[in-house]
């Protein structure tokens, strides 16, 4: 299964495409990841157009089966929240027009899924994403791309294409033998 994760932003939008074969966390493979930077574009409509066009191009290149995006979070600044909502909107429209199944995850859910800690910071998320996808250390400016990869990983885990969910430790061990150290 191919999953496109998107970390929306009006200045920098991260995207990450992974493939998973459904045999635990070791089955994740990064296909493509990067950022869409629109800092130098002065008008909001042009920024949104750039995000829409570039996400559409990523979709066309990779033909993802599913699309996952971070939910909007509410900040003290209403203007920032509105701008973030617009970036989310154009990314969602790009996925919808491509008729891809869409899922949304809260930031705390993503952090918990990838690091085990819902309050993890960006460096912890990046470390775990690099470890899960066996990626070399990259330039720090790709933090938004690592966040997008984390969103895609979260979706894979939540959809059961990664490790299976378990109701008890006994079930966890039975469902995820590759994650148990002996």
Which residues are known catalytic residues? Answer: 7, 70, 144
154-163 in b/e form (b: 16+ CB < 10 A) is bbbbbbebbb
User: What is the Cα–Cα distance from 15 to 36, expressed in whole angstroms?
Assistant: 8
User: What is the Cα–Cα distance from 46 to 52, expressed in whole angstroms?
Assistant: 10
User: What is the Cα–Cα distance from 32 to 61, expressed in whole angstroms?
Assistant: 10
Q: How many CB atoms lie within 10 A of CB 36?
A: 25
């Amino acid at each position: 299964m191919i999953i496109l994760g998107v970390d929306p932003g009006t200045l920098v939008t991260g995207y990450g495409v992974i493939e998973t074969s459904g045999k635990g966390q070791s089955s994740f493979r990064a296909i493509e990841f990067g950022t869409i930077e629109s800092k130098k574009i002065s008008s909001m409509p042009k920024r949104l157009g750039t995000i829409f066009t570039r996400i559409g191009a990523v979709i066309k290149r990779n033909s993802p089966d599913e699309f996952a995006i971070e939910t909007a979070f509410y900040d003290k600044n209403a203007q920032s929240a509105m701008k973030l909502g617009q970036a989310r909107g154009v990314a969602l429209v790009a996925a919808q027009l491509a008729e891809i199944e869409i899922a949304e995850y809260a930031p705390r859910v993503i952090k918990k899924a990838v690091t085990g800690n819902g309050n993890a910071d960006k460096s912890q998320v990046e470390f775990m994403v690099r470890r899960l996808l066996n990626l070399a250390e990259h330039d720090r400016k790709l933090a938004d791309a690592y966040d997008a990869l984390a969103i895609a990983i979260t979706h894979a885990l939540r959809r059961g294409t990664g490790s299976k969910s378990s109701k008890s430790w006994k079930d966890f061990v039975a469902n995820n033998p590759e994650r148990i150290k002996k």
